Amino acid sequence: MQIRTDLALESHEICKESAKRDDEIRGVETIVEEDDGVTLTRVMVSDEIGAKILGKPIGAYVTIEAHDLEYDTQIYEKTCEILSEEIRKMVNLTDDSVILVVGLGNDHITPDALGPYTVDRLMVTHHMKKHMPEQLDKGIRSVCAIAPGVLGTTGMETVDIVKGVVDELKPDVVIAVDALASRSLSRMGSTIQIANTGISPGAGVGNRRDGLNEQTLGVKVIAVGVPTVVDAATVAIDSIDMAVKSEDTAAIKEQLYDNMGTLMVTPKNIDLIIERASKTVANGINLALHENMTFSQIEEYVG
């Protein structure tokens, strides 16, 4: 039985729980930081052994957890700023850098609409940098964006669409935004993962497509995602764990996963979650790419 999650933090938690160990996993290092209501967890996978154990490619994964994100404006602003800092740490940008942001997902299905909604809130400037650069302030970089849709509505693999744009545009970096799957309802909409390993669209719901990464696109890919769904079997398993801590529940868990493993659950307020999460991700990206702009200026632009 494999619990489905896109979060490296949760994969690390699962590995430690299953092995009943408190020490670090070989080839994996974690660092946890706290900052006024926001928790930052860095998971670094350094070799193939760690990658195999965790089920994640070698690279860096940063998880931002802000459980009052929907209601606390100070937490919201801090999360945007932390996200921008972490993105800048993962890419070496110059004033002449060209950045392509890819909003993955299906905007007709709310839990899968994070990517397209994020693209709608971005400060896209590539056309202005190209045709009227004198109208832009210093520090405004060349940013363009695309929401390529999904295979079922376009008839084309997402990676093929994005690769065509990359080949024509030749950006310095691609930032891919996508909805993720989590093992925990408490992380829905309140957790952001940034990774320098790229992303596999649909992987969290068992519909894995060809990945968007440096190998497939020929350019560095930063992945940004927010959990919007959780495996139904995981919810049931967690409930059993809480109810029967002292009993052997392995067989019951296995049966539940067999019966419910194809079902995904999303919160009833998913519309509000996607609205705030997409705004947070977009503004974090905006702040990261246009470094001379303040948070209030970004907010005024995005609306």
Tens-digit pLDDT string for the chain (303 aa): 556 789 999 999 888 877 666 667 888 999 999 988 899 999 999 999 999 988 899 999 999 999 877 777 888 999 999 999 999 999 989 988 999 999 999 999 999 999 999 999 999 988 887 778 777 777 789 999 999 998 888 999 999 999 999 999 999 999 999 999 998 888 988 999 999 999 876 554 455 557 899 999 999 999 999 999 987 766 666 666 655 655 666 666 666 666 555 667 788 889 999 999 999 999 999 999 998 888 888 887 766
CATH topology of domain 8-302: Rossmann fold (3.40.50)
pLDDT of residue 204: 46
Cα–Cα distance measured from residue 116 to residue 103, given in angstroms and rounded to the nearest whole number? 5
pLDDT of residue 147: 96
Cα–Cα distance measured from residue 189 to residue 127, given in angstroms and rounded to the nearest whole number? 32
Cα–Cα distance measured from residue 245 to residue 77, given in angstroms and rounded to the nearest whole number? 39
How many other β-carbons are positioned within 10 Å of the β-carbon of residue 60? Answer: 18
- For 66, 113, 183, 247, the CA distances from 39, given in Å and listed in that order, are 7, 25, 18, 32
Cα–Cα distance measured from residue 193 to residue 83, given in angstroms and rounded to the nearest whole number? 9
CA 188-149-194 angle, to 5 degrees, is: 40
How many other β-carbons are positioned within 10 Å of the β-carbon of residue 147? Answer: 19
Cα–Cα distance measured from residue 107 to residue 186, given in angstroms and rounded to the nearest whole number? 24
Cα–Cα distance measured from residue 289 to residue 283, given in angstroms and rounded to the nearest whole number? 10
Q: Scanning the structure block, which residue is given the tokens 């029967």? A: 244
The set of long-range contacts for 83-86, using a CB threshold of 8 Å and a minimum separation of 24, is: 83/192, 83/194, 83/224, 83/280, 83/281, 83/284, 83/285, 83/287, 83/288, 84/284, 84/285, 84/286, 84/287, 84/288, 85/288, 86/40, 86/62, 86/194
List the chain domain ranges.
8-302
pLDDT of residue 239: 62
pLDDT of residue 102: 97
Q: Smallest Cα–Cα separation from 109: which of 207, 246, 3?
A: 207
First to last CA, the chain: 45
pLDDT of residue 280: 94
pLDDT of residue 25: 84
- The CA radius of gyration of the chain, in Å to the nearest whole number, is 19
